[in-house]
Structure 1
Amino acid sequence: MITPADLRTYVINLLRRPDRRARMTHVLPPELKATFTSDWRGLFDGLNLTRSQLDAAGYTLFPWQIESDNPWWARPLKYGEIGCTLAHLACWRHAAQTGDEPFIVFLEDDLVIPDAFLDQLLAGLHQLTRHGPFDLLYLGRFPLEPDHDQPVLDGFVSPGYSHCTFGYLLTRPGLGLVLAAHIEEAVVPVDEFLPALYIDHPRPDLRARFRRRLTALAFEPPLVSQRPKDEAGSDTERSAFVEPRDRQPEQGAANPRR
């Protein structure tokens, strides 16, 4: 039987957003003793992030901007996107070095959690572990392409290309596979990184850099959702674009999908 003791939980939260931390502390089930990234020092806040800091820390940015009809791919990365990715990476690394729980839950601080969240999560994991092994489980997401035709089990699908990382889970073997992709050597938005590990990514350059290695599943309907941007705001969208090292970052237009 799977219990809360089998879960390790992380919440992506910035030090300057104690309001979001307070809300998450209030809504999270007390059985989940979450670790908050706001308790760590790291290059997580896009409003305070610079190219020189990334270089000094040894992070290499993937050549993101390409000619494309997709407006997100046709513009530079934002510092907030990089900071978000590095926060997730810090959680993956911490989980790999700490504890031995078989399931690791990653939540962003604009998450909407139903009252029955923990019971539904534990019941779902019990059902899935009886079905067979998996690596990644979306608790919620934004599908960009159709999922695979046949449901895996009642309440679960094999996801197609999806965005958003406000709620997902990795098994311990899956955690090792994610870290083995070495996103620190080619930093991209975490929204794009995770799908590249379980589908043939629609961008050939990302598909070539990050090979498929995960078995992914998703709650359907989603177990959790995300607060609307007009209600919660977006620390990611408020940040500047990353410009070449010899130019000053400029504030750019928001990406409507983030």
Structure 2
Amino acid sequence: MISTRDVRTYVINLPRRADRRAEITRRLPHALPVVFTSDWGAQFDGRILSLDDLHNAGHKLFPWPIASQNPWWSRPLKYGEIGCTLAHHACWRHAATTGTEPYILILEDDAVLGPTFLDDLLQALERLAETTAFDLLYLGRYPLEPDRGAVAPGLVVPGYSHCSYGYLLTRPALDVLLGMHLEHAIVPVDEFLPSLYIDHPRDDLRARFPSQLTALACEPPLVHQRPKDDAGSDTEDSAFVTQ
């Protein structure tokens, strides 16, 4: 029987966004112990990050802008996107070195959880334990391509999808994610995750981060995202990287 003892939970939050922390804390199930990245300091804040900070930490950026009609691919990265990726990476690394829970739940602080979120999540994990092996489970996302079939009631195989405000990893998946050394080729986490379960539409990302995970998605979603005009965007509200 899967329970809250089997789930290690992280919320990605910046120290200056106490408003977001308060809002998501109000929605989080009390039975779910949570680690907040804001308790680790402001190291992921795109308003503060600099190239010197990244270089001093041994981090490197992937050569991101390419000639493309996709506006997200043809512009430089933003420091907020880099900070977001590093925060996700820090959660994976922390989970890999602390605890033994089989599942790792990652939430961004603008995630919206419904009143039955925890029951719905544990029930989904029970169904999967009986039927289908997986590495990554999207609890919410923005589909860019059609899904690729259903595996169980409420669970589908996702196509190319964006948004990382709510997902769950198995413990073995942590080794795969960390083994990609994302910190040495930083890209937006929204592009990194799908590159590991589909053949990414960008040749350079497909070569650097080849597909090797089994991903599933909850449909309908268990988690939604607060509108940006309500919560703001800490990734977009930051400067472009200029080198």
Q: TM-score, normalised by structure 2?
A: 0.99
1:1-258 matches, within 5 Å, as 1-41=1-41, 43-148=43-148, 150-244=149-243
Instruction: Give the superposition deviation at 1:42.
Output: 5.5
Q: Percent identity?
A: 66
| Residue 166 of structure 1, CA deviation | 0.3
Distance apart, 1:132 and its partner CA? 2.5
Matches of 1:57 and 1:239, distance apart in 2:
20
In 2, Cα distance between the equivalents of 1:163 and 1:171?
20
Q: Secondary structure at the match of 1:160?
A: coil
CA deviations 1:79-119 (Å, max 9, x no partner) are: 00000000000000000000000000000000111000000
Of 11-20 and 33-42, deviating more is: 33-42
Question: Deviations along 1:18-53, whole A, 9 cap, x unmatched?
Answer: 111111111100011100000003630000110111
Letter in 2 for 1:109: D
Between 2-11 and 128-137, report the one with greater CA deviation.
128-137
Distance 1:64 1:124 in 2: 36
What's the secondary structure of 2:240's corresponding residue?
Answer: coil
User: Secondary structure at 2:63's aligned position in 1?
Assistant: coil
Deviation at 1:63?
0.2
Gaps of 5+ in 2: none
Residue-pair matches, total: 243
In the alignment, residue 47 of structure 1 is paired with which amino acid?
A: R
Deviation at 1:125, TM superposition (A): 0.2
8 Å CA contact 2:79, 2:239 repeated in 1: yes
8 Å contact from structure 1 (residues 159, 218) kept in 2:
yes
**Structure 2 counterpart SS, 1:26:** helix
Match of 1:248?
none
Q: Secondary structure at the match of 1:16?
A: coil
SS at match of 2:14: coil
Structure 1: gaps of 5 or more residues: 245-258
The code of the aligned residue for 2:236 comes to: E
Q: Distance in 1 between matches of 2:31 and 2:86?
A: 27
3-state SS, counterpart of residue 213 of structure 2: coil
* Partner Cα distance (1:108, 1:6) in 2: 20
* CA distance in 1 between partners of 2:42 and 2:63 (Å): 23
Query: What's the offset of the Cα at 1:178?
Result: 1.1
CA contact (8 A) 1:44 1:87 kept: yes
RMSD: 0.7
Code of the residue aligned with 2:159 in structure 1: it is G
1:254 maps to none
Distance in 2, matches of 1:87 and 1:136, equals 18
Tell me, in whole angstroms, the C-alpha distance in 1 between the residues paired with 2:158 and 2:197: 9
Q: Deviations over 1:202-248 (max 9, x none)?
A: 0000000001110000001111100001111111111000001xxxx
Local SS of the residue matching 1:66: coil
Q: Contact 2:15–2:41 at 8 Å: present in 1 too? A: no
CA distance in 2 between partners of 1:100 and 1:133 (Å): 18
- Give 3-state SS (helix, strand or coil) of 1:152's partner: strand
What per-residue deviation string (whole Å, max 9, x for no partner) do you get for residues 179-213 of structure 1?
11110110000000000000000000000000111
Q: What secondary structure is seen at the aligned counterpart in 1 of 2:152?
A: coil
